[in-house]
Amino acid sequence: MLHIVDDEEVIRDALAWLAQSRGLEARGYAGGHEFLDQMQQPGDEGDCVLLDVRMPDMNGIAVFDQLIQRGLLPRLPVIFLTGHGDVPMAVDSLKRGAFDFFEKPFNDNMLMDRVEEAMAASRKAAASAQVQARLATLSAREREVLDLILAGMMNKVVADKLGISMRTVEVHRAHIFDKMQVKTAVELAGLLK
């Protein structure tokens, strides 16, 4: 979902039309407070925010600060749009995690290319967060077994190394595969690379 936060309706409509021309779903917000009030956790399908810097109710930098405080970056990449930007503002926002910074008027295709790249980065961040959440469900012993499986050790070697029975290793391995939602050690290694 592309979230367009701009106080000018004509800009919101034009950007939504551009997004739809690329097959992207878009939603417009008239200001920062409206956006923050309606913003949920980013989805797994990829999100991006086009954020105007100057708005009467709440400027884009303040909205960006709120997104950082809520821990929504990098799953919700922000591309700033401004007609009044300056180099220090752009550099500061990029250092703090903004995905990009465009000055109005901008090249439509270049902007939409960056939106698509931001959405791809959002999907990648969502997938990584899911893997980290699954890893967090593993017990300390399962983590030990996981590390040894990833090192290519067979169950008997893992059992000897940890001083446990081979059957216990098999149980841990089954739990790891179940919690990580994989069927093979190769799939597990690919998920964690």
Domains of the chain, earliest start first = 2-130 (3.40.50.2300), 137-192 (1.10.10.10)
Residue with tokens 């179940």: 178
Beta-carbon contacts of residue 23 (< 8 Å; ≥ 6 apart): none
Q: What is the average per-residue pLDDT within 128-135? A: 91
Per-residue model confidence (pLDDT) at position 74:
84
DSSP string spanning 162-191?
Answer: HT--HHHHHHHHHHHHHHHT-SSHHHHHHH
Q: At what angle do helices 185-192 and 140-150 cross, to 10 degrees?
A: 100
State the Cα–Cα distance between residues 98 and 90, nearest whole angstrom: 9
Round to whole Å and give the CA distance between 73 and 75.
5
Q: What is the pLDDT of residues 69-87, one digit of tens each?
A: 998 988 899 999 988 777 7
Q: What is the pLDDT of residue 51?
A: 96
Taking CA atoms, 9 is separated from 55, 63, 162, in Å, by 12, 18, 64
Percent of the chain at pLDDT > 90 equals 75
Mean pLDDT of the chain: 92
Instruction: Give the pairing of strands 48-52 and 2-5.
Output: parallel
| pLDDT at 178 > cutoff 90 | yes
Q: How much is the pLDDT for 5?
A: 97
Q: pTM of the entire structure?
A: 0.79
Look at residue 116 in the predicted model and tell me its pLDDT: 97
For 46: left if phi > 0, alpha if psi spans -120 to 50, otherwise beta; the answer is: left
Sheet strands side by side (includes 2-5): 26-29, 2-5, 48-52, 78-82, 100-103
Quote the pLDDT of residue 96. Answer: 93
Label residue 134 by pLDDT band (50, 70, 90).
very high
Contact 44, 130 (CB under 8 A): yes
Per residue in 4-40, pLDDT tens?
Answer: 999 999 999 999 999 999 999 999 999 999 999 988 7
Q: Is the model's pLDDT at 164 over the cut of 80? A: yes
